[in-house]
Amino acid sequence: MSGSPARRPAVEDLVDAYRADLVAAGMFAGHPVTSVARMFFTRVGAAGWAQMPLADQCALPLEDRRVVGWLIVTGRLRPSPDYLVACRPYLGEVAAHHHRAFHVRFAETSAGLGFGATVTRLQWSALAKVTALAGLAPDQVTQAVIDEGRQALTAAIGRHHPGSHGPGALSAALFGLQTTLFHLGVLDAAPRKTSPDRSAERAAEWQSAAPLLASTLTGYIAQVRLSLRASTMVRVEGVLREFACWLAASAPEVACVADLRRRHIEAYKLHLAARPSARGGNLSKISLAEHLGALRACFERLTEWDGDDVPAAVLVFSGDLPLRDEPLPRFLDDGAFTKLLQATRADPDPFVRLAVEFLARTGLRKGEFLDLTVDSVVQIGAAYWLHVPLGKLRTDRYIPLHPQLKDLLDAWLAGRPAGLRTPWLFTEHGQRIGKGRVDRAVAKAAQAAGIGHVSPHRLRHTLATQAINRGMSLEAIAALLGHRSMRMTMVYARIANRTVAEEYFAVAGKVEALYDAPKTLPAGAEGAEMRKLRAEMHRRMLGNGYCARPVGLDCHFESICESCAFFQTTIEFRPTLQAQRDDAAGKGQIGRQKVFDGLLARLEETAS
């Protein structure tokens, strides 16, 4: 209790502060409200409330709980995480009133990132709770405050609502909150999705292995970690750790690498062949080859380094690794590809339209596509080029950018939130778009087209197959796809072997000549539709065949010269360029039309 006359000035100070905050928040601050606050400060007070049992705190009348909420959001009272979870004090609403300016900025930033009103409210509520636990205002939050608040609130949810979805909902709200605070400039780093920390489990498994063996293998891991990718090291460390644990259980006589014999490797091969995989079933040939290949590389390097603990003999041979199948790349034929593009352009999701069209026309790997930045497009002469960043093979490259793709990129960038603090081109809700989103976009378009499942990498194979079938050189295809060696590109030559095709059709023609020739139609048997078709085929006749491309689809090569950085034109060619532009417009070929629009516009600028 705090009703002694000596404390009355302190009570009145609190009442005055409460009244001033209500007025500043635009709320009613008359006698009915302030008298309730005065009564609470006199009878209970902040110190008395903190000593109350949790059940009594939750049982207070609503008007008293509003006063408690004000004490909390203004930093005058530190609640327990159990109170915030069990009593549902609606701190978000109270904090929004008493920190109005920051709440407005927060809500505007969250909405600009694409978060809905409900999600924004949940983010703000989570912010009010974690800052209340630390006794801070919402705009004073730090990453450490969020992490500590997450742990305290998660533990409280487990005590009061065991087995509920509360921890997941809290984690989602805090992740979105951190994204909003990063782009608002409050936090220095954007949040990253992390996997559960299993370092303790890994350390325990290494501890179960023979000490000298574990020391040798972990020393090897530390060395190769300096030169291999982090994703590769996850697999290497897992393979060597599993092998060391298997030796501890099945061959305890092995105390170091020098004790290993061929019989141990053979027994381990049988163990791997029978071991179930994480996805069900047994390990595939590729997984077996990766396991044994990692062991072989480890033993070879240890022998080369000539350390204190090296294999006594060659343990793993090339014949131990299962032979991998070498199937041809799976690609879409022209009919399926046309259906896919038509379904893509009809999709209402702008990312689906952009992702599928982009992958299909550039042949980028999924990771390269997602690694593009806002400054990846550059103009060289009259054409636009795309800078593909360092990717799978640690090389970057420039590839020509089709005008239609440039338009799609411009439309995507037009919807980019202002002030976004990230260089990545493809973002949603302030976060980089992940690989799963690309997979779903391609699968959605393929399903709408009715052509079955299609992966993003299959579009890469399709572009390469289309290019080689239409005469593009292997060197150009290698440059376009970013292949480091021609051996990688030669696989597409197996799909389109022109020598085999020419000899086959030559022989097939001779065989067909043995049979009766087809009967000739009478001269008057050709109807109007047949004449129309024959005229169309004549118009599409090439020097060595026909073009079967649907009229409405742009051709990658029809305007290839006009898109080249070395193409030059002058005013005397304007009638020809205008005719080409009108032809593209009449056929609905938007990308080709854009090329000639740009050339004509530059001629006008030069003339003026």
Q: Is residue 509 part of a domain?
A: no
Same domain, yes or no, for 408 and 455?
A: yes
Q: Is residue 268 part of a domain?
A: yes
Same domain, yes or no, for 177 and 226?
A: no
Residue written as token pair 């002058």: 570
Same domain, yes or no, for 343 and 488?
A: yes
Q: How far from chain centre, in Å, is Cα 408? A: 19
Tell me if residue 451 falls in helix, strand or coil: coil
Same domain, yes or no, for 101 and 213?
A: no
Spatial distance between the Cα atoms of 439 and 370, rounded to a whole number of angstroms: 12
Residue span of the structural domain in which 463 resides: 334-495
Q: Is residue 521 part of a domain?
A: no
Q: Is residue 327 part of a domain?
A: no
Q: Is residue 164 part of a domain?
A: yes
Return the biggest CA–CA distance within the chain: 122
Copy the structure tokens of residue 356.
């599928």
Split into its structural domains, the chain has a count of: 4
Same domain, yes or no, for 79 and 143?
A: yes
Spatial distance between the Cα atoms of 435 and 295, rounded to a whole number of angstroms: 30
How many helices (H) and strands (E) would you count in the chain? 28, 5
Backbone φ, ψ for residue 182 (5° rounding): -65, -50
pLDDT of residue 489: 74
Judge whether 477 and 467 are in contact, CB under 8 Å: yes
Element (H, E) at 200: helix 199-208
pLDDT of residue 552: 53
Copy the structure tokens of residue 491.
């696989």
Same domain, yes or no, for 179 and 81?
A: yes
Torsion angle defined by CA atoms of residues 570, 571, 577 and 581, in that order, rounded to the nearest 10 degrees: 120
Same domain, yes or no, for 140 and 163?
A: yes
Reported as a single tens digit per residue, the pLDDT across 433-479 is 999 999 999 999 999 999 999 999 999 888 888 887 777 887 887 88
Residue written as token pair 């509003």: 66
**125, 151, 184: which is the final residue of a domain?**
184
Which residue type, as a one-letter code, is found at position 217? L
Q: Is residue 508 part of a domain?
A: no
Q: Is residue 512 part of a domain?
A: no
Q: Is residue 505 part of a domain?
A: no
CATH number at residue 409: 1.10.443.10
Instruction: Report which DSSP code applies to 329.
Output: P
Copy the structure tokens of residue 196.
């559960």
pLDDT of residue 236: 95
Spatial distance between the Cα atoms of 456 and 471, rounded to a whole number of angstroms: 24
**445, 480, 495: which is the final residue of a domain?**
495
pLDDT of residue 248: 95
pLDDT of residue 2: 44
pLDDT of residue 549: 61
Same domain, yes or no, for 159 and 261?
A: no
Helix/strand/coil (H/E/C) assignment for every residue in 203-258: HHHHHHCCHHHHHHHHHHHHHHCCCCCHHHHHHHHHHHHHHHHHHHHHCCCCCCHH
Instruction: Report which DSSP code applies to 26.
Output: T
Same domain, yes or no, for 286 and 351?
A: no
Instruction: Report which DSSP code applies to 117.
Output: H
Q: How far from chain centre, in Å, is Cα 557? A: 32
Q: Please count the CA atoms within 13 angstroms of the CA of 506 that sit on its side-chain side.
A: 6
Same domain, yes or no, for 361 and 394?
A: yes
Low-confidence ranges of the chain (pLDDT < 70): 1-7, 391-394, 492-557, 565, 608
Same domain, yes or no, for 180 and 206?
A: no
Copy the structure tokens of residue 201.
């489990």
**265, 293, 320: which is the final residue of a domain?**
320
pLDDT of residue 564: 74
Same domain, yes or no, for 117 and 249?
A: no
Angle value at C-alpha 73, between 69 and 75, nearest 5 degrees: 115
Copy the structure tokens of residue 434.
């992940």
Q: Is the dihedral of CA 426, 429, 430, 434 positive or negative?
A: negative
* Predicted TM-score (pTM) of this structure: 0.69
Reported as a single tens digit per residue, the pLDDT across 549-570 is 655 566 656 777 777 767 788 8
